[in-house]
Structure 1
Amino acid sequence: MKTVLSTLNAKYIHTSLSIRYLKAYAEPDYDIELAEYTIKDPAMNIVTDLHAKKPEIIGFSCYIWNIEETIKVIKMLKKINPSLLIVLGGPEVTYDTREWMEKIPEVDFIIIGEGEQSFKQLLDELHGEHNYENVSGIAYRKDAALQIKPQRNKIDLKTLPSPFRFKEDLSQLSKRVTYIETSRGCPFSCQFCLSSIEVGVRYFDRDKVKEDIRFLMEHGAKTIKFVDRTFNISRSYAMEMFQFLIDEHKPGTVFQFEITADIMRPEVIQFLNDNAPKGLFRFEIGVQSTNDATNELVMRKQNFSKLTRTVTMVKEGQKIDQHLDLIAGLPEEDYHSFKKTFNDVFELRPEELQLGFLKMLRGTGLRLRAEDHGYVYMDHSPYEILKNNILSFEDITKIKHVEDVLEKYWNDHRMDETVEYLVSNVFASPFDFFQDFGTFWDKKGWSRIGHQLEDLYKHLFEFLASSNHDVVDIVSGFMKYDYLRNQKFKPRKPWWDDALSKQERSKIYHSILENPLLLGEEFARKQLTEKDLFKHTVLETLPFNLNHYLKTGKMVEEGSFILVHYDTVHSKTTVYTALSREFESKVG
């Protein structure tokens, strides 16, 4: 029977590890074809492509991000071919299985939980005697009555075959994210997380994992993301893997991990700071909340002072980028408490700060006890909360405004110096800046349209001007600096109006040619010609001494110039500064 395993990924660059494990475990007894799509692909296109493969069995891996689109595809496929057997699996359908079987009558089987062994057993019965009661971890219908067979035993992970050796995947490794497991399960019991349901942590064979990583790198994999829920739960294991990756990595490869920061020992971080190449590792850290009462209610153990120590040490090492997560809407975390959580974590200045909203996942303790905290949430995936007993829908809407501008103005690092000055010197707190700007952004309707880079600068300037802040000129100077230094090539038309006339600009350029040391020895050594200056540099005025601010963090309001050189030969952008008074005798 022709069998296809499919899923709808969130993005094209993502790959599904689950269907590859199922395929690998079923071989060599069954030859299974993989078919991946995205949630953005039209359902008709997916159906057309799957139908053309002429399958007799199709399995879909289901998650909160793809279940709604997957259902559309399933219903269309079954209408076209009623004899097609539909099998679902994955975390979204593992819980409330009876409800899913009743909701989607087109589904013939649901695999419950860990799927490798159950799916293989199901294929054996589909090709054999159809005695489905012999299959553990499965839901099906018999004489119109629903049958649910629980899983009997967890599989021995050390026996699983590699999911990375399929020839059809090799050409795509450099273009997509490769996901890899070294363990399953989580030692913690966070009540909003599915991982808390499985007790204990099981490990894969270390030598096999290392061989897989070598194989992936040899075949061009660039981004390898470990999906272990807590990669560093075993210090000795984490150290062994870190050392292996440092020793064996290929240039250009990046490894991403989910770590629990407050249990990471300082000597481990020091080892990474001393030995890891810059950019080789990336850490994802779930902070979620700094409210102790909230963490206790969701059975989340967290020592924020130790977490701060870890994040700070990693940041000071300048080797590893960090992505920190927050969740708005946890129990007993009202708007003001979440504001404190946000400011606590932003104080650490992570490279990325992800602001998410609580999702009441099927099977989690928080969903089962939703009434205890007055949770109202979406009936459909992703089951995001709408309000609870202390957080109104209006509060959630306001926090969503923060999320929108946080992504564009902090996580994308388009204007780091500008934002840093605003959150440190202009607004009462970082949250106040993102909240005020986010609300302004929403009222303007900007969240519903796309934006060019220049638009983002113009929008921020408009917001500051409308707020009657007396630092608009200062901040616009930072914005010019951020804009120019982050360009790879000389911009054709900046977002601001020229402060210098062509005559003034020409005089300053000629004064620089006459005395290059005005911009320092490094600039003078470049020996730029008049043609180089006019073709490959930008000259702008600032209302403050930029060089003094960058060195000391203190503002001195005296005019200065910045000259930005775009070296196209070496793909390098360099900023040179000088005070206005140094040019006064030349410009007049």
Structure 2
Amino acid sequence: MAIYDNLHVLLFLSSPFSHSILCTGIRHGASAFLKGYFLGGAETTMYDYTLTLGGLAMKVLLLTLNAKYIHSSLALRYLKAYCRPVCADILVREYSINNGLLDILGDIYREKPGVIGMACYIWNIEMTLTLAGLIKKVLPDTAIVLGGPEVSYDPAEVMAGHAAVDYIVQGEGEETLYRLLSSLQSGRDVETIEGLAFRRGGRVVINGGPQIVHDLSCIPFPYSDEDMAQLADKIIYYESSRGCPFSCQYCLSSATTGVRFLPLERVYRDMEFFIRHDVKQVKFVDRTFNAKKEHYFPLWQFLARQNCRTNFHFEIAADILDDEVLAFLAQVPPGRFQFEIGVQSTYEPTLAEIKRRNDWSRIARNVLKLRSYDNIHLHLDLIVGLPYETYERFGRSFNDLYALQPHMLQIGFLKLLKGSGIRRRAGQHGYVFMDTAPYQVLANNYLTYGEVRKLHILEEVFNQTYNSGRFPATLRWLVDCYSGDAFRLYADLAAYWEERGLHSLSHSAKSLFGHMAEFCRYHRLKDAICLQLLKFDALAGEGGVRPEFLPWNGDEWEYVKTRFWRDEATVRQYLPGYCFTSWREIKRNYHIEVFEVNIPHYLAGGELREERTVILFSYAQDRINYQIVQPHDFGM
């Protein structure tokens, strides 16, 4: 769920922890030299600082523990870029929560930094605090600074329980850095700096709360040519705004008000940098990218004009897209944009309680229109555990979104995040949730733990079937068999999975085809039709899976297929420009299969007729294509 997954980019994007990192090393006789510096491209005068500690240049290490290897930290790169004028020797290290603690500790010890800054999020906070304690044992003189959403809202509690932590910086911190550096440079006390937590005389001092940066144009572009080489196989994150126009009570964006934007000319230059480096995907972390048309629409138009292969991912509110924008989106090059749309629920009392404004009729209309264009990947979100939404009512929200047939429908589970409004009112709705991160809901007044557990298994099965994209024809037929009640189908699939212990196993693509076939037999659905649909899905899928148990033609039509491929004039009716080259080329690029039902007619909105149908699959293009071969052209 993007609401949670991107917190590591948004809420620590410009965290003041990096700024105070540099400042911690100025203690005890450190000196600093400041000179005026004008940041290229920015309108704000900044400073070039050179820090020394005891006459030696100080080494600063910024690190985080990402949730997965493919993730990258936009936060650390912002911090390094911003702090480079302060200290030339700034290292960035990204690990994942799957790395061993002692391996990470050894890597840090080898660098022997004077200051270490660590970014803290729901997926890494426990491991990060343990790591901080270990660092202090082997590098007792190193200053440790924490930042990020997991320490910004209860810094006193964190510092009281973890003696290894020297500083905590709350919220966004570029401006806090200047004030902190200025105070330390002139010998003034840091107690006047808002947003800073520090130790004084054996006690923890908290001055103010999380800070924000009002003028984003003063923040430098965070990526370099060297970064692009290092991030070739990772997700690239970017932001063009901070804040959100909504006040959803489950999200930390509700902790601040208003939206701040980067100047468009700056964003254009930044996008040109990514395009020049042929980046595969740029993932915007703006909480609601299309909050302001004067900002987002010119940028979309700019990106649509570019000659590039880069995909741009945006989190948007679908109901505020107007007809002008929708008409434009119909012409966007296929694969250029990817939209994530957080609907979360379609139940009005729930939406009112979490202070989320949804115009469901406009969402449905606009998503269906975007889906019809077939040029933009659509990802819709739901959240389990919101107030007033029972198991049955969640099923209705699920069916509402499923009917729109997004490319992906993500089921997330509510997390009662520190600083969120819903956490402050947890008692009102009887929330039972994890005491430690990620603070995931276990039950409330509307859902029992048993129901939450069932939905966890449903989510897993749904990801392996619908979201995997492996079974579009089979699942469409199964939903029809369930009279259109998709939620009941997936609930039955989840029960089937659990009864056989499949929910605790990993599955290959081939084994999933077998489980789907067995599910149809178990529920006494038409086995012969199910196998034909599974065979179609196997041939139309990207993975090239050919489960042996499916009713393949084998040698039955081999003579007819050979004659077809030899007849170039006939084949050109289906494949313009076709010329017979070799059987190896044909086998690699094409496949003909005879089915006992007319699946293309069914997928186009018709009935599933039991009639022999010849389908030609083409693998020669970027996308797998299929078409019906007329019986007289196939010699039938």
**TM-score, structure 2 length as denominator?**
0.84
Q: Which amino acid aligns with 1:216?
A: F
Aligned residue number for residue 533 of structure 2: 478
Secondary structure at 2:230 match in 1: coil
Aligned residue number for residue 136 of structure 2: 78
Aligned residue number for residue 560 of structure 1: 613
Secondary structure at 1:521 match in 2: coil
Cα separation, 2, equivalents of 1:534 and 1:254: 31
1:105 Cα offset (Å): 2.0
Moved more, 546-555 or 366-375: 546-555
1:41 Cα offset (Å): 1.6
1:426 Cα offset (Å): 4.0
Q: Deviations over 1:65-113 (max 9, x none)?
A: 2212212221221221222211000111111222211222211111011
Identify if the C-alpha distance between structure 1 residues 84 and 514 changes in structure 2 by more than 3 Å, giving closer, same or farther: closer
Cα separation, 2, equivalents of 1:263 and 1:391: 32
Of the three residues 50, 54, 64, the one matched with 1:7 is: 64
Give identity over the alignment, percent. Answer: 37
Aligned residue number for residue 521 of structure 1: 573
Q: Which amino acid aligns with 2:534?
A: M
Identify if the C-alpha distance between structure 1 residues 408 and 123 changes in structure 2 by more than 3 Å, giving closer, same or farther: farther
Secondary structure at 2:314 match in 1: strand
Aligned residue number for residue 319 of structure 2: 262
Cα separation, 1, equivalents of 2:619 and 2:567: 20
1:415 Cα offset (Å): 1.9
The alignment status of 1:41 with 2:107, answered yes or no, reads: no
Of the three residues 310, 315, 318, the one matched with 1:253 is: 310
5+ residue gaps, structure 1: none
The alignment status of 1:316 with 2:367, answered yes or no, reads: no
Kept after mapping to 2: 8 A contact 1:323/1:354: yes
Kept after mapping to 2: 8 A contact 1:190/1:299: yes
1:529 Cα offset (Å): 7.7
Q: Which amino acid aligns with 1:253?
A: T
1:517 Cα offset (Å): 8.5
Identify if the C-alpha distance between structure 1 residues 106 and 443 changes in structure 2 by more than 3 Å, giving closer, same or farther: farther
Instruction: Within 5 Å, give how 1:81-480 maps onto structure 2.
Output: 81-119=139-177, 121-122=179-180, 129=187, 131-150=189-208, 154-247=212-305, 249-274=306-331, 276-426=332-482, 428-469=484-525, 471-480=526-535
Identify if the C-alpha distance between structure 1 residues 554 and 581 changes in structure 2 by more than 3 Å, giving closer, same or farther: farther
Cα separation, 2, equivalents of 1:394 and 1:202: 42
Identify if the C-alpha distance between structure 1 residues 162 and 539 changes in structure 2 by more than 3 Å, giving closer, same or farther: same
Kept after mapping to 2: 8 A contact 1:509/1:533: no
Secondary structure at 1:312 match in 2: helix
The alignment status of 1:29 with 2:86, answered yes or no, reads: yes
Cα separation, 1, equivalents of 2:580 and 2:355: 63
Aligned residue number for residue 545 of structure 1: 598
Q: Deviations over 1:156-199 (max 9, x none)?
A: 43442323343531313443222222211112111111001101
Kept after mapping to 1: 8 A contact 2:120/2:146: yes
1:573 Cα offset (Å): 5.0
1:398 Cα offset (Å): 1.1
Aligned residue number for residue 17 of structure 1: 74
Cα separation, 1, equivalents of 2:606 and 2:128: 53
Cα separation, 1, equivalents of 2:474 and 2:435: 41
1:115 Cα offset (Å): 2.2
Secondary structure at 2:574 match in 1: helix
Cα separation, 2, equivalents of 1:5 and 1:123: 18
Kept after mapping to 1: 8 A contact 2:195/2:211: no
Secondary structure at 2:118 match in 1: strand
Cα separation, 2, equivalents of 1:59 and 1:533: 56
1:59 Cα offset (Å): 0.5
Moved more, 301-310 or 311-320: 311-320
Secondary structure at 2:158 match in 1: helix
Moved more, 523-532 or 31-40: 523-532
Kept after mapping to 1: 8 A contact 2:532/2:551: no
5+ residue gaps, structure 2: 1-57
Kept after mapping to 2: 8 A contact 1:2/1:57: yes
1:530 Cα offset (Å): 8.7
Higher-RCO chain (CA-CA 8 Å, sequence separation at least 6): 2
Kept after mapping to 2: 8 A contact 1:519/1:577: no
Kept after mapping to 2: 8 A contact 1:157/1:205: no
Secondary structure at 1:59 match in 2: strand
Identify if the C-alpha distance between structure 1 residues 293 and 457 changes in structure 2 by more than 3 Å, giving closer, same or farther: same
1:153 Cα offset (Å): 6.4
Kept after mapping to 1: 8 A contact 2:473/2:603: no
Cα separation, 1, equivalents of 2:595 and 2:163: 67
Secondary structure at 1:220 match in 2: coil
Identify if the C-alpha distance between structure 1 residues 547 and 219 changes in structure 2 by more than 3 Å, giving closer, same or farther: closer
Secondary structure at 1:411 match in 2: coil
Moved more, 336-345 or 23-32: 23-32
Kept after mapping to 1: 8 A contact 2:152/2:210: no
Identify if the C-alpha distance between structure 1 residues 197 and 452 changes in structure 2 by more than 3 Å, giving closer, same or farther: same
Kept after mapping to 2: 8 A contact 1:136/1:151: yes
1:253 Cα offset (Å): 0.6
1:390 Cα offset (Å): 1.5
1:473 Cα offset (Å): 1.5
Secondary structure at 1:301 match in 2: coil
1:467 Cα offset (Å): 1.6
RMSD of equivalent CA atoms: 2.8
